[in-house]
Structure 1
């Protein structure tokens, strides 16, 4: 067990709505509990029909917190949870530096994490017992993409508030934020960006309106020089109105739309989700000519990769995360070479000509033909032709 490992100093446990409803909370108490938001997701499942009912489930996390409850002050339902917890401290997180309640909370020596606008950008600041602690410029956090990914700015603020409330040093908090990014290695399925093609690909597991809106907003801030292309889907067990809302949030934001379904239909017919998305897009003003229905995820992704051109931006909402990432990596744009190398595994084979040396000469050794490299766990070596008997 993680909590029994003597080397573990701080453990952060995600407590999902589904697990709470199925089996209850997996622990009796915690030092710190946090609720980041209450969004219209998973409604209609297990007797939860409204966001207010969902909030009652989510607030259990802060009800059992003994030291600090960390709450989103920009979300009304989260803000109301402050009155439901007996934690010794309340820590509000807000991206609004003019938040009236948080201002009063700070003046009363309460704890808060605030995004403050300054001449050099947006500063994440911690307030605690009358102290004002500038923590880190938001744009210096890799996961925020120079501050453009507002949802990850907020996530970073929560991470800071939780860690600070658990006694983690400011130096360690800063180091953690400065070294965490959204690469596939560190955060698979969460805003993974692949830019070794002539176009940029953003892959994300967003599957509810709030997550989709965050990614759509991000793509707008990225200001692609070419077209914006979208591969869109929604889980089959979501309410019809939630699926239509997902499509509405994307309408008018992209030049081309590819509607697909997940591998697991979750009770839907084979083409039901992509058709529902298409109809909702059209109802929100998208031209039918700019929409394609390609139900299978792999086919939809392949089509989007094949149609992307120089400087385009491709946003893919993904279901099979590892499979799709490999498909993106392995894709070879027709008539163009990728701008970077994509090793398939730690022991992958990579071939290419040497750079920085005159062709046919390397380290004093002469070669008559183009030199090829193999890169694997042992390092890099020259590829030689196989010997024949």
Structure 2
């Protein structure tokens, strides 16, 4: 079929996995919709041959049962998509060592303040190449800590005098302003950042789903970071175990050239193992500055960041910098939020590798997190009367475990009870949902309210996920009297506060943006009412 369209027959990849097979191939950048139709046509052909699915009947799509007709249909599709002028301009941009982005929104040459965008039907005959340039670009991925790391890096760029733009699960932000709200942690959000003419430095959250569905938003980046790898999203897009997940996230390495750097977590054994096959420059961070891998990396002139005697310590180009006591950094909550110490170390190392000064980095770390506006939805804290409330995005067992450790630390001085709001997205399999419940049970909560995640049902029936969580909590010894099911997220959060008494700690993992906004507004009102 590709030969019939005149496409090059090269770079095919077939990935066989537990739930089926994935096919990938190279196609012209101006005919990617046609490429997806070819992919689906090939898949349907196999499915029909094995009598697993009926023939598709939708008009206008390539016919599985008639190859000649399919060729005619796909040729028409390709002809309708083809944009020779865009291809020529992208090739010229490559010759000028400039990024180029082409999609339905238009063609962009350069990036941020150094970029220009044209509609696809009004491409320029002449391009002001001397006016165009790239901007510092960072890719951020990992199982946990992506958004916090993105926000830290954006704050560091701002402190260094550069107007930063970033995308994350909360939206697209430029210079502190939210320009789009929603989950923009994929290529669409990244391109919105890179096309904004105000942006002088781009920090791009790069989630697993976007990588597997659409790839990276950029061909090159100055730096990238993988915060960690932990079990999550198994069963989607051929990812069935940690090794698969690590391979997906380490696709970022392909965007790093000889003058860039990939920052990795040395406390993650799988990243240590996978790094042996990487060819791009690396830098390493750890909770322990004396981690053997950091010591060895420094011995060979590499950059590292870790904690030495309670002080975050950076070494780059052979010079060591003390960035400050971690217990004094607001984001660490007096050192109890160890996962945020890791996020801080990783972000500091990326910033240093990009040339930001140790003074700028230390200044940001000394204040970031003191205000809830610094990192909304991540370890936000309220004191309502004598009840401590923690609101977070924890969405997998490792994230929840870290959050509950912080909660126990907060409650240690009061001897109060622990209350937990618990839910999970419907696209996790039953085993993953039960693992989240086991993590919750291990913390010994005194009260658990089970909820649905509005907007994240993803094929599950109403109340189905809370039912699985409830069953697993009961199996692990939580009394039925300590469990309550309230499906709407906001009502569930309010019930937690109604249960709480002086000295208690209430943990609210809230994931839906609209629900979070309502909960935050309500919590703010409770603080006012108790003064």
Q: TM-score, normalised by structure 1?
A: 0.80
For 1:166 and 1:124, locate their aligned partners in 2 and report how far apart those are by CA, in whole Å.
Answer: 18
Deviations 1:327-361 (A, max 9, x none): 2223479xxx413xxxxxxxxxxxxxxxxxxxxxx
- TM-superposed deviation, 1:277: 0.9
Gaps of 5+ in 1: 340-389
Residue aligning to 1:360: none
Bigger RCO (CA 8 Å, 6+ sep): 1
Residue aligning to 1:186: 374
Residue aligning to 1:53: 244
Residue aligning to 1:261: 452
Flag the 1:137–1:312 CA change in 2: closer, same or farther, 3 A.
same
1:69 aligns with 2:257: no
Flag the 1:73–1:201 CA change in 2: closer, same or farther, 3 A.
same
Deviations 1:202-240 (A, max 9, x none): 111111111111101111111252211111111111121
Residue aligning to 2:417: 227
Residue aligning to 1:318: 510
- TM-superposed deviation, 1:191: 0.8
Q: Which residue, out of 235, 239, 251, partners 1:44?
A: 235
What secondary structure is seen at the aligned counterpart in 2 of 1:155? helix
**Contact 1:305-1:331 at 8 Å conserved across structures:** no
1:115 aligns with 2:303: no
**Contact 1:198-1:338 at 8 Å conserved across structures:** no
Deviations 1:125-175 (A, max 9, x none): 112343332222111211111111111111000110000000001111011
**Contact 1:258-1:304 at 8 Å conserved across structures:** yes
For 1:298 and 1:196, locate their aligned partners in 2 and report how far apart those are by CA, in whole Å.
Answer: 17
Gaps of 5+ in 2: 1-107, 115-161, 164-199
Residue aligning to 1:327: 522
1:18 aligns with 2:209: yes
What secondary structure is seen at the aligned counterpart in 2 of 1:207? coil
Residue aligning to 2:325: 137
Q: Which residue, out of 35, 51, 71, partners 2:226?
A: 35
For 1:83 and 1:10, locate their aligned partners in 2 and report how far apart those are by CA, in whole Å.
Answer: 30
- TM-superposed deviation, 1:182: 6.5
- TM-superposed deviation, 1:50: 1.4
Residue aligning to 1:169: 357
Task: Report how many aligned residue pairs link the two structures.
Answer: 331
**Contact 1:203-1:318 at 8 Å conserved across structures:** yes
**Contact 2:288-2:306 at 8 Å conserved across structures:** yes
**Contact 1:301-1:316 at 8 Å conserved across structures:** yes
**Contact 1:182-1:190 at 8 Å conserved across structures:** no
1:294 aligns with 2:486: yes
- TM-superposed deviation, 1:272: 1.1
For 2:342 and 2:298, locate their aligned partners in 1 and report how far apart those are by CA, in whole Å.
Answer: 19
Q: Which residue, out of 238, 245, 249, partners 2:439?
A: 249
For 1:137 and 1:331, locate their aligned partners in 2 and report how far apart those are by CA, in whole Å.
Answer: 33
**Contact 1:62-1:69 at 8 Å conserved across structures:** yes
For 1:54 and 1:306, locate their aligned partners in 2 and report how far apart those are by CA, in whole Å.
Answer: 40
What secondary structure is seen at the aligned counterpart in 1 of 2:312? strand
For 2:466 and 2:211, locate their aligned partners in 1 and report how far apart those are by CA, in whole Å.
Answer: 31
**Contact 1:3-1:11 at 8 Å conserved across structures:** no
Higher helix residue share: 2
What secondary structure is seen at the aligned counterpart in 1 of 2:202? coil
Residue aligning to 1:105: 297
